[in-house]
Amino acid sequence: MILANSILFGFLHIIFGNWVSVLGATIIGFIFSLTYSKHQSLLAVATEHAIIGDIVFTIGLGQFFYVADF
């Protein structure tokens, strides 16, 4: 289930139109899955997602996870 969740989380990011976002989200999705498996808490996963998202944009990778022309 952890692997399936990781792949699906990564696939969800296909909307950004690049392989970097899909691969990065798949890897991070694995970490999110482990967090949920350990703590059984969506709040923990949501907080982790927010923190990692902030880090991604801070270090300059936000261009791969953002589309302005929807």
In a domain, 24, yes or no: yes
How many domains would you assign to the chain? 1
Within-domain flag for 70: no
Residue 20 lies in a domain: yes
Q: What is the pLDDT of residues 39-51, one digit of tens each?
A: 999 999 999 999 9
- pLDDT bin (cut points 50, 70, 90) of residue 66 is confident
Q: How far apart are CA 21 and CA 50, in angstroms?
A: 16
Domain that holds residue 30: 2-64
The structure's pTM equals: 0.85
DSSP-assigned letter for residue 64: G
Q: Is residue 50 part of a domain?
A: yes
Supply 42's token pair.
Answer: 């969506």
For residues 17 and 44, the model is more confident at 44
Task: Give DSSP secondary structure letters for 5-57.
Answer: HHHHHHHHGGGG-SHHHHHHHHHHHHHHHHHHHHH--HHHHHHHHHHHHHHHH
